[in-house]
Structure 1
């Protein structure tokens, strides 16, 4: 599985968990575009990811965490720990 496929799988999983159809995103994107994202056929800009996450009612990082967790085969908790450590190393307040 490549990263686009992992991201698409996460988008579909979260969308379905929230009880949303692909048509729910019509205000920000076409059904065909959402379908291509979910199938890993298209990439997504950070701006579009923010809009999609807003429609789903989740933080954009939730989508990214879920997708990277699948892609790298690491539990989300492990990635969160790594992220917290890296933020501390670069001086990000938290």
Structure 2
């Protein structure tokens, strides 16, 4: 979901509706970049999109909702309703608590480098090891790669 074309159309519509020229937005991006974005020829980072929305004096969430609505062929209100439903589900299963656990002093909580371990797989490997299964048997039973089984087999968990 690149949304390049949807961002292009939304950006151009808001800029025209606000009566702003490229020069008026020059503070948020270079004119050539803005032209490329508006023509759907360049992607944009969320930081750049936030900067553009700010320069347009337009809410970032509303901007994104309009882009998603274009992509899905829905109205912005439908896109926002879908997002609200998703947020409600996230909150209902404790998602906000998990989010807060990932945020500390205005920064994301760091984690060790590398791919996070899948605790369910690790537990299964260690359980089968405790039952006396070999690594080869565990590979067949759990359909995990030999290197994954070996890593969990020798873990200190």
TM-score with structure 1 setting the length = 0.89
Once residues 76 and 84 of structure 1 are traced to their aligned partners in structure 2, the CA distance between those partners, rounded to angstroms, is: 12
- 1:89 is matched with which residue? 89
Q: What pairs with 1:7-22 in structure 2 (closer than 5 Å)?
A: 7-22=7-22
Instruction: Give the deviation of 1:79 after TM superposition.
Output: 1.2
Task: Give a deviation string over 1:8-35, Cα, whole Å, max 9, x none.
Answer: 0000000111110111121121111000
Bigger Cα Rg: 2
Show structure 1 runs of 4+ deviating over 6 A. none
- 2:34 is matched with which residue? 34
Between Structure 1 and Structure 2, the one with more helix by share is: 1
- 2:68 is matched with which residue? 68
Report how many residues are paired. 92
- Unaligned regions of 5+ residues in structure 1, if any? none
Task: Give a deviation string over 1:45-94, Cα, whole Å, max 9, x none.
Answer: 1111111111100111121111111111011111111111110100167x
